[in-house]
Amino acid sequence: MKVILQRVSEARVRIDDVVAGEIGAGLMILFCAEDGDLPESVERLAVKISKLRIFADDAGKMNRCILDCAGSALIVSQFTLAAKTSKGNRPSFIAAAAPDRGKQLYEKFCHAISNLGIPVATGQFGADMQVELINDGPVTIPLEIAAPPL
């Protein structure tokens, strides 16, 4: 499971020129489920994100988490994070989870973030979306959670 976290002062996602979800200060989260990802990884990823200290404290140091500053999360599915580009010029997305599985894990992830007390807005899984954001900092952090060992 991969995500790209962007600390934002505001963000929104549009579908067919209609705002589907928007937030003020918080995190823009691009989410990608990969083949082999397990539901247990969703919870670990959500907790990790909720505790990540990437928001400024009173001294301007990244010392606060999204919960500390009452931030929100805009979560958008992004299968292209699974792109493999080592061969040729056309990315391969074979590592992405199948659409039905990807949607299931995406929805579980959105609920997991919400259950931690973080207000959540979303795009629409599989839709053609336009994302607008103001990256605060800028702060952009890739994060990956591997499936737990069997």
Q: Could you list the active site residues?
A: 78-80
Say how far apart CA 8 and CA 150 lie, in whole Å.
37
- Phi, then psi, of 25 in degrees rounded to 5: -65, 140
Give the ranges where the chain is alpha helix by DSSP (H). Answer: 39-51, 99-115
SS3 assignment, position 63: strand
